[in-house]
Amino acid sequence: MSDESAFTFLPLGAIIQEFNVGGTNIVQGFRTQEDYVHHNTPFFGATIGRVANRLKNGRLENVNGQTYSLAINDAPNSLHGGDQGWGKRIWEGPKAVNRNGKEGILFKYVSKHGEENYPGTVEVRVWYTASKEDDGKTVLETEYEAELVGDEVEETAVNITNHSYFNISGGPTIKGTIAQLSTDQCLPLDETSIPYGHVDRFSKVKVAEPFTLGLAENEVDDCFLVESDPSKVSLDTRAQPVTLLGAFSHPDSKLHLEVYSTEPAFQFYTGNGVDVPEVNGVPAREKYAGFCVEPSRYVNAANVPAWRHMSVLKKGQVYGSKIVYKAWKQ
């Protein structure tokens, strides 16, 4: 994989363990895979599925004509695929491959029917392709693909993202990082972080203008929309152009990060609840240790009639998406 020295990945959860830019690893993580097994409560770097974010009341409704009860691990909802979601499973790989004319690596996982009580056997594939642009920017492209490969049922639900926590400050927290999101359109959430169902403008913080991370008044954990018309969202978004979701920089470290995706939505989280003790010589991570940009489908899409087409995967269909990270030191 070109520019592979900038990155390391793990079979556990197809995790992004290191993303090195200008001598700094800009993602949070641990030294060993075993450390992730025992201590990764924040989902550092993990591939999230079968369904990222939350499903209301831990239920997958009207799929195969029935309702499936899922793990309640973020009461009253099911979060990030349940107690043992894809980020906690051992994947096959990394396997060196050529992807779209570039050297990359492939991770593959087969999620069996009934795993975390989700219906259907799903094969999911993740490609990571690293490169260097002419202007010196380090680029990591992530591509997701999933298919229903078993004969147990006719459909299931899928929503995949990556849960990397970025810190470009060069210090222990993201304080002082300047952020600007590409949109302030959002899905207003209830007290359990489930959308009410309508689209609005985010008003707590002026996220579409530059704002500073690491301040109590600028805490965010919300779902923002790139495409606010659900009828325009397909199950495989890879035919869409990658769109800038957010741009980030830090005046002291001179590090910059841009996140792009083909996805219609993204959860932006400022690390308000991070609390990880010292592990194997890695210092404790506390509040504001990193921020997350999680491109995905709408939250709880599979349970909302007008949104379910973007998350319900039927036999013979392919789910797909892309995320692109660009980072540099200036």
* Catalytic residue status for 309: no
- The torsion angles phi and psi of 135, rounded to 5 degrees, stand at -85, 10
Q: Which of 163, 198, 250, 309 is catalytic?
A: 163
- Count of other CB atoms within 10 angstroms of residue 137: 18
Chain-centre distance for alpha carbon 105: 18
| Nearest Cα to Cα of residue 194 among 233, 218, 219, 221 | 221
Catalytic positions: 163
